[in-house]
Structure 1
């Protein structure tokens, strides 16, 4: 199986912590040159310095806030002008928790810009280089809510579903150019995002966070939460030459929790 990413360049969004960081580490282990994109420059410098370099790679970073669309556009266009990016990991934090009936319109608008508009601008800037090299891997880290909506995540459920439809459409259009577009759907994964959700649900129920965490883990057939590295392993496979014929899919990585085939 050909998993080598030697000579490939990867742009990993939201890569200073959690799932994004774990993906950057996995891609680096497979030989990719990783460009990290996030808003915390001090943390970006730390992560770049710590990434593996088994093939003597030159890793780097760029600073952008995903809530500022024009800033992201300017940064990615500069990156695209400097090198071909073969692998794009679209990964950014989700909207805050809460019932959909209580959501403000501005929350939907902000989430749409951050998840759809920003993803689209990144692909528009990078796809020409992918087409030129006839190698592209666009991987969106979204949520199992695109299969079955999750309670108390009204805005997130809505926007994640939109990302999945956008990705499927893009997959159909780009496949003939050697570019695949796939979605990884993390289930309950031990990240700051999960901690926030546990805290929100616990407060609503009058439970302790420990009680809430146990109840959520009990919903998973594996009876535990996932780790960022387990999500990253699937993303790394999708980024590899071995996954060339996997396209337009949404793959849950959730310990079996999602109740659909």
Structure 2
């Protein structure tokens, strides 16, 4: 299948590691030009050195804190200056701190809102003039918590579901512009974030992170954590010309972990 991504420009937020990096690599394989971003310039430079010349697509990077409007605007302009336009926007953000309701302060709620929901709003708004030119694609990365809240992750549970409401509403509002927008929700994908969550649960229960992982695997029909590239391939499909009639939907990539219909 030809995804027709050669020469298209994709902007990927929070892409110096984990799922964002995997998405960048898969898009580069398909010939897209990719702008990666993040708060750590050394990590971005390392990604550029490791994968920037391996594939057909061109890779560039811009340091940006997605909780800061000025830096988002700089990121958008840097992408347009480098590649001429934006055809694909992949919204992504690192997960907020773990904890229960009683442990969360106003500052923690505000910070999570700005990073995990408002950044998506801002990146979409700033990208729209370019996405509207040729009917672009938006893919919002969320979490399996959009279908089943995860204990101890109240900040993520709250704002990830907000992403779904945003996506569903914009699917109608942007349809006339030919823009398709969807949400992709990872389950237990083998990233540093998931390893960190396993370690937190291990420290709470006084067992090793390996035992925590074994317990989690009991609830995953495929009996393994997903690989980042498996998740990334779903995003690439939704961002490509192979997707012509899917918008406003949410897709789980979780090995069958979530049991809801």
Structure 2 match to 1:153: 153
Structure 2 match to 1:40: 40
Residue 81 of structure 1: how far off its partner (Å): 5.8
For 1:228 and 1:258, the matched residues in 2 are separated by 18
For 1:52 and 1:230, the matched residues in 2 are separated by 22
Contact 2:92 2:140 in 1 (8 A): yes
Which stretch of structure 1 is more off in the superposition, 76-85 or 226-235? 76-85
Counterpart check, 1:240 vs 2:240:
yes
Contact 1:182 1:249 in 2 (8 A): yes
Counterpart check, 1:93 vs 2:61:
no
Counterpart check, 1:176 vs 2:157:
no
Residue 78 of structure 1: how far off its partner (Å): 4.3
Contact 1:142 1:185 in 2 (8 A): yes
**TM-score (ref. length: structure 2):** 0.94
Structure 2 match to 1:167: 167
Secondary structure at the aligned position of 1:10 is classed as strand
Secondary structure at the aligned position of 2:223 is classed as coil
Structure 2 match to 1:133: 134
C-alpha offsets along residues 77-98 of structure 1, whole Å, 9 cap, x if unaligned? 4434662111111111011111
For 1:77 and 1:172, the matched residues in 2 are separated by 27
C-alpha offsets along residues 2-56 of structure 1, whole Å, 9 cap, x if unaligned? 312012000011111111111000001111000111122122122123235544x
For 2:80 and 2:259, the matched residues in 1 are separated by 40
C-alpha offsets along residues 92-149 of structure 1, whole Å, 9 cap, x if unaligned? 1011111123222221111111122211111111111111122x11111110101111
RMSD: 1.6
Residue 236 of structure 1: how far off its partner (Å): 0.6
C-alpha offsets along residues 47-78 of structure 1, whole Å, 9 cap, x if unaligned? 123235544x3321111122333322333244
What is the number of residues matched between the two proteins?
Answer: 259
For 2:146 and 2:233, the matched residues in 1 are separated by 20
Q: Within 5 Å, which residues of 2 pair with 1:218-233?
A: 218-233=218-233
For 1:120 and 1:199, the matched residues in 2 are separated by 31
Contact 2:139 2:235 in 1 (8 A): yes
Q: Within 5 Å, which residues of 2 pair with 1:69-88?
A: 69-80=69-80, 83-88=84-89
Counterpart check, 1:119 vs 2:120:
yes
Which stretch of structure 1 is more off in the superposition, 95-104 or 83-92? 95-104
Contact 1:45 1:61 in 2 (8 A): yes
- What stretches of structure 2 of length at least 5 have no aligned partner? none
For 1:100 and 1:176, the matched residues in 2 are separated by 40
Contact 1:108 1:159 in 2 (8 A): no
